[in-house]
A and B are shown apart, each in its own frame.
Chain A
Amino acid sequence: MSINLAQSHSNAAPVSRKRSEDRAKPYYRTYVPYLFLIPGLLLYFLWTVYPLIYQLYISFFDWKIMPGQVSEFVGLANYQEAFADKTFWLAMRNTAGYAIVTVAGQMIVGLALAILVHRVVVGKRFFRTIYYLPVVTSWIVVSFLFIYLFSPGNSGLVNYILLQLGTIDKPISWMAGADTAWIAIYSLGIWKGMGWAMVIFLAALQGIPTELYEAAAIDGADEFGRLRFLTIPLIKRTLMFVFVALMIGGFQVFLSVLMLTGGGPLHRTEVALTYMFDEAFGKLNFGYGAALSYILAIVIVIVSVLQTRLFGRQSQEVEY
C-alpha cells in the first residue's frame, strides 16, 4: 500500500505533490456513486442478505416445501430440538476435529514446503506450480480421486502400497469404519490445501532480508535455530493469517465428506453441513435444516471474531 504511494510521489515534482495532497479527498457527486453501487448491491442483497434473514424466518416453522401445504409456526422448537440432538453435536465435534487436524497438517506441510522451495536453486517455479495444482482442482474431482485411491480390496492404490510395505497384512475397507474413513478425509483436506499455505508462506519468506540469515549464520545459529528464532517470529503475522483463514475454511468442510462417506457409517463421520444437508434435502425438514444452518453460521462467526480479536486486526484486510 505505502509502496505504491511512495513511488508515485517520488516520481512527481514537488508542485504536483502539493496538488495531489489537496485533491486527496474524494470528490462528491450526488447520484453517480449510486449508479456504480446499486446493480451489484441489489444482486448481493437479494441472494445473500435477504436469504440470511429469510432463513431465520424459516427456522421458526415446520416448513413445508410442497406448494399448497401450510407451514406450521413452531417458535423455537427447531432450536430446542437441535440442542438436544446428539447427532448434531457429534457432527459439530467432528467438524471442529476436522478443522484442527487439517489446519495443523496444512500449516506444517505448507511451511516445510515453503522453506524448501524458498531454498531450492533450480526449479522453484516448477515446484510451486506442482504443489499448487491440487488447490485449483475441483473438490468433486479430488473427492472421486480419493475414493478411488482408498478403494477397498487388494487393488486400491493405498491398500496396495501399504500391503507391499508390510504396514498392514490385509486390505482395509477404508470407508467402512469411522477411524479409517477419517484418515482418508483428513489426508484429502491436507493434500488439497497445503499448496495454498505454501504459496502464502513462500511470499512471506521472500520478504525477509537475506542479511538477517547471514548475520545469524555468523553468530553460529544452526538450521533449526534460524527457523525457531528468526524465520518463525518474522513471519508470525502471516502464520496467524493463514491459521485464521484455514480454520474458517475447515469449519465449512462439506463436499469431501458428502462424497467420501455421506456421513456414515451410522453418522460417525457426519459434519455440520452434511447433517444440515441431509435433514433439509434428504428428509425435507427445511425448518430444522435452517435452524442448524443458523447455529453453524453463528459458531463460525464467533470463531472468526475470537480469532481476529486474538490475532489483531487481520479482518480489516481482504485476502485471497
Chain B
Amino acid sequence: MISTSRSQQRLFNLFVFLVLCAGVVIAAAPLFYMISTAFKGSAYVQEYPPRLIPETVTLENFETAFTSRNFGRAFLNSAIVAIATSVLVTMLAATMAYSFARFEFRGKRPIYRVLLIMLMIPGVVLLIPQFILASNLGLRNSLPGLILVYSAGPLAFNTFLLRGFFENLPRELEEAAIIDGANSFTVFWRVMLPLAAPAISTVAVFSFLGAWDEYVLALNFLTDETLRTLPIAIANFRGQHSTNWGLVFAGSLTAVVPTVVLFIVFQRYFIQGITSGAVRG
C-alpha cells in the first residue's frame, strides 16, 4: 500500500480486526451457547437471566445421554453408516470419474448427459420413490439399505468433481506405468488415486458428513429402535411437553465434535476443493 499514511493504515487495520472480532461474537455465540448449555446441569426450565458461561460445569448431561437407551448404539450406527457411505462414494465416484476422464467408449456421451441433468434434481424430491423402492426390496429397516441410498445420491456430483481433477493430472506418470507393464487397475490405484489425494479426501469427508448428519431418510427408513442413527437419537431427547435442553445439546455436541475435528484437520484440502471450480476464469 501507499506509505504516506502509514499510521492511518495501521489504524484501519486495527478497525478491520475489531469489526471481525465483533462478527465472531455474533457468528460463534450460538455455538458457544450450545456448548455452555450442554455443560450446565439438567434443566427443564431455562434459567433467568440466561448465562453464556455456566455457573458450575458438570458432565451430568453427557452421562445421562450415554447411559440412556440406545444412544451409544446410535453413535455406533452413525459411525458405521457414515464410514461405509464415505468409502462407497469415494470408490465408486473415483472409478466412474476415471472412466470418463481417460477412456472413450460407446455410450459415454449419453450417460454423461444423463448425469449432468440429474445434477439439477435435488435429492429430497426423491424421498417418496426411494422409500417405496426400499420397502419393496426389503431394504427399508436396515443399515445396509440406508448406506446404499446415502451412497447413490452424491455420486453424480462427486464423479464430476473427480473427473475434472483427473483430467488435469499430467499423463506422463500413467504412460510410464503402462510402459512398465501396469494395467489400468494398477494405474488407477497406484497412480491416479495418490495424485488426486486432495480431491479424494474432499469427497470422502463431505460424503461422511452428509451421511453423519442425515435425518429425514433415516427417520422414515428405520423403525427398529436399535438401528437408529445419531440425529434421530438427538431428536428423541426433545420431549413431547418439556425438554431438557442440556441433554439435547450434550447429544448434539457429541455429534458435532467429530465433524468439526474432521473439518479442521482437512481444512487445507477443503478450501482448495470448495473453491477450485468457482473462481476459475
Which of A's residues lie within 8 Å of B, judged by CB?
A: 1, 4-5, 8, 12, 16, 20, 23-24, 26-29, 32-34, 36-37, 39-41, 43-44, 46-52, 54-55, 58, 65, 113, 116-117, 119-123, 127-134, 136-142, 144-146, 148-149, 151, 153-157, 160, 191, 194-196, 199-200, 203-204, 207, 213-214, 217-218, 235, 237-238, 241-242, 248, 251-252, 254-255, 258, 273, 276-277, 280-281, 286, 289-290, 293-294, 296-297, 300-301, 304-305, 315, 317-320
Contacts and interface: CB of A to CB of B under 8 A. Distances in A.
Contacts of B234: 140-141, 144
Contacts of A122: 17
B89 to A, nearest CB: 9
A156 B46 contact: yes
A129 B202 contact: no
A217 B216 contact: no
A138 B259 contact: yes
A319 B23 contact: no
B33 A26 contact: no
Interface residues on B, range: 35 or more
Interface of A is mostly: helix
Interface string B81-124: 00000001000110110111011110010010011101111111
B23 A131 contact: yes
Contacts of A34: 99, 105
A36 B267 CA distance: 30
A275 to B, nearest CB: 12
Given A36-B99, A40-B159, A138 B255 contact: yes
Given A47-B149, A136-B209, A207 B279 contact: yes
Interface in B1-38: 1-2, 13, 16-17, 19-20, 23-24, 27-28, 30-31, 33-34, 37
Contacts of A289: 128
A5 B182 CA distance: 24
Contacts of B27: 130-131, 133-134, 191, 194-195
Contacts of B252: 141, 144-145
B277 A318 contact: yes
Interface of B: 1-2, 13, 16-17, 19-20, 23-24, 27-28, 30-31, 33-34, 37, 45-50, 88, 92-93, 95-96, 98-100, 102-105, 108, 111, 114-116, 118-133, 135, 148-149, 151-153, 155-157, 159-161, 163-164, 167-172, 175, 184, 188, 202, 206, 209, 212-213, 215-216, 220, 231, 234-235, 238, 245, 248-249, 252, 255-256, 259-260, 263-264, 267, 270-271, 273-281
Given A23-B175, A120-B13, A139 B215 contact: yes
B276 A319 contact: yes
B133 A320 contact: no
Nearest to B212: A138
Contacts of A141: 34, 234, 252, 255-256
A195 B93 CA distance: 27
B155 A44 contact: yes
Given A8-B172, A319-B277, A121 B256 contact: no
Contacts of B23: 113, 116, 127, 131
5 contacts: A20-B172, A54-B133, A65-B135, A294-B125, A319-B277
B94 to A, nearest CB: 9
B49 A280 contact: no
A104 to B, nearest CB: 18
Given A41-B96, A203-B279, A157 B50 contact: yes
Contact of A130 (B24, B98, B206): B24
A26 B160 contact: no
Nearest to B104: A26
Given A8-B172, A200-B274, A255 B216 contact: yes
Given A27-B103, A277-B127, A320-B276, 16 more contacts: A1-B164, A20-B170, A29-B184, A33-B108, A36-B98, A37-B105, A40-B155, A48-B123, A48-B156, A51-B126, A160-B50, A200-B275, A207-B279, A237-B281, A277-B216, A320-B274
Contact of A16 (B17, B172, B231, B276): B172
Contacts of A129: 264, 267
Contacts of A24: 171
Contacts of B159: 40
A46 B133 CA distance: 9
B20 A127 contact: yes
